[in-house]
Structure 1
Amino acid sequence: MANLVVFCILAVVILGSALLCVMTKRIMRAATFMLFVLFGVAGLYFLLDYTYLGAAQIAVYAGGVTMIYVFAIQLVSKRTLQGLVERVKCSRMLWGGLVSLVSLATVVMVFLKNNFILWGGMMPDTEVPMKEIGHALVGSDKYQYVLPFEFISVFLLACIIGGLVVSRKKED
C-alpha cells in the first residue's frame, strides 16, 4: 500500500513538472521543472529497488544533462532570447495532436504484438534480474547498449563544443 502511495506522489510530481516544463515561458524555469521530472524518474527506479539505475539517473541525467542545458541557456545572450516570442497556431496544434495519436497507437500496437501488456490487464510475473539488466547496459553483443551510450557521449561532447562556438564573441 505504501508503494502505491509513493508511486502516486511521484507520478503527480513527474506529470505536473513535465506539463509546467512545457507550458512555462521562462527558459530557466523550464530547465528546473525538467530537473524535477528527472528526479521523479529516479525516484521510480528507487521504488523498484533498482538503486544503480536510480543513481545513474541522478548522476547522468539530473546532474549532467540538466547542467549542460543550464550552461547552454546561460551562454546564449539575453538579446537573442528577448526576440523569441512564439505564437501558437491552430494548424500546429492539430499536427502535433495527430502525430501524438499516431505515436501512441504505434506504441500500443508494439506492446500488444510483443505481449508486454496482456489483454487481461495484468503484467506477466516474470522479473528480470538486476545482473541481466547490468550486462545488457554495458555489453557489446546484440541487443546490448554500450555502443548507443558511446554515441550519446560523443553527441553530448559535440553539443558542448557547439555551445562554446556559439558563445564566442565575434571580433569586429
Structure 2
Amino acid sequence: MLEQIIFSILAIAIALFSVLAVTSKRIIRSAIYLLFVLLATAGLFLMLNYHFLFAVQVTVYAGGIMVLFIMAIFLTHKPGKIVERRTNLKIISSILLSGGGLILCGYIILRNVTRVYNYLKINEINMQDIGRAMMGTEKYQFLLPFEAISLLLLACIIGAIMIARKEKNIETNDNKDLDHK
C-alpha cells in the first residue's frame, strides 16, 4: 500500500512538472521543472530497486545535464526574459504531431512488449555485460560514441561561450557609443 502511495505521488509529480516545464513562460523555471521531473524519475528507479539507474539518473541527468542546460541558458539568453506566445497554428500543429507521436510510440510498445519480455525472461543480462558494452572498444561496444558525444558537448559549451562574449562585446560597444554622443 505504501509503495502505491509513493508511486502515485511520483507519477503525479512527473506529470505535473512535465506540463509546467513545457508551459512555463520563463526559461529558467522550465529548466527547474525539468530537474524535478528527472529527480522524480530517479525515485521511480529507486522504487524498482534499480540502484545503478537511480545513481546514473541523479548524477548524469539531474546533475550534469541540468547544469549544462542552465549554463547554456545563462550564456545565450537573458534569464528573466519572458518567452513570446506561440500562434494558434503552431499550437494546433504541435498538438497534432504530439498525438501522432504518442500513437506511434504506443503502437510500437504494444507490438514489441511481449517479444522483449520473453527475451529478457530467457536471457537475463547481468551488470558486468552492460559495463563491458558501455566501456568497451570492440564491435557493438560504446566507448567511442560516448567520447564523441562528450567532445560534441564540449564544442557546444565553447560555442555558447563565444556567442555570449560576442553579444557582450556588442552591448558594451553600443553603450560606449551612446556615452560619447
TM-score range, shorter chain: 0.7 to 0.9
Whether 2:9 is the aligned partner of 1:3: answer: no
Pair 36,77 (structure 1): closer, same or farther in 2 beyond 3 Å: closer
Shift of 1:153: 1.6
Aligned partner of 1:43 in structure 2 is: 43
Aligned partner of 1:102 in structure 2 is: 100
Task: Name the count of aligned residue pairs.
Answer: 165
Q: Specify the code of the residue in structure 1 equivalent to 2:30.
A: A
Larger radius of gyration, structure 1 or 2? 2
Percent same amino acid among aligned pairs? 40
Aligned partner of 1:153 in structure 2 is: 150
Q: Counterpart of 1:25 in 2: which secondary structure?
A: coil
Aligned partner of 1:28 in structure 2 is: 28
Whether 2:112 is the aligned partner of 1:111: answer: no
Select between 148-157 and 134-143 the one with higher mean Cα deviation: 134-143
Mapped to 1, the partners of 2:56 and 2:83 lie a distance apart of 36
Mapped to 2, the partners of 1:22 and 1:150 lie a distance apart of 30
Given that residues 75 and 163 in structure 1 are in contact (C-alpha distance below 8 angstroms), is that contact kept between their aligned partners in structure 2? Answer: yes
Whose helix proportion is higher, 1 or 2?
2
Query: After superposition, what is the alpha-carbon deviation per residue over 1:26-49, rounded to whole angstroms, capped at 9, x for unaligned?
Result: 222111111111111111111111
RMSD value over aligned CA atoms? Answer: 2.7
Given that residues 25 and 83 in structure 2 are in contact (C-alpha distance below 8 angstroms), is that contact kept between their aligned partners in structure 1? Answer: no
Shift of 1:134: 4.0
Q: 1:1-172 to 2 correspondence within 5 Å?
A: 1-76=1-76, 78=78, 82=81, 85-114=83-112, 116=113, 126=121, 129-139=126-136, 145-168=142-165, 169-170=168-169, 172=173
Mapped to 2, the partners of 1:141 and 1:110 lie a distance apart of 30
TM-score normalised over the length of structure 1: 0.78
TM-score normalised over the length of structure 2: 0.75
Mapped to 2, the partners of 1:27 and 1:64 lie a distance apart of 18
Query: After superposition, what is the alpha-carbon deviation per residue over 1:114-149, rounded to whole angstroms, capped at 9, x for unaligned?
Result: 2x159xxxx769365444544444455666544443
Shift of 1:91: 1.3
Q: Which structure has the higher relative contact order (CA within 8 Å, separation 6+)?
A: 2
Given that residues 27 and 83 in structure 2 are in contact (C-alpha distance below 8 angstroms), is that contact kept between their aligned partners in structure 1? Answer: no
Which consecutive residues of structure 1, in runs of 5 or more, have no partner in the other structure?
Answer: none
Which consecutive residues of structure 2, in runs of 5 or more, have no partner in the other structure?
Answer: 174-181
Mapped to 1, the partners of 2:63 and 2:100 lie a distance apart of 33
Pair 117,137 (structure 1): closer, same or farther in 2 beyond 3 Å: same
Mapped to 2, the partners of 1:24 and 1:62 lie a distance apart of 19
Mapped to 1, the partners of 2:133 and 2:44 lie a distance apart of 20
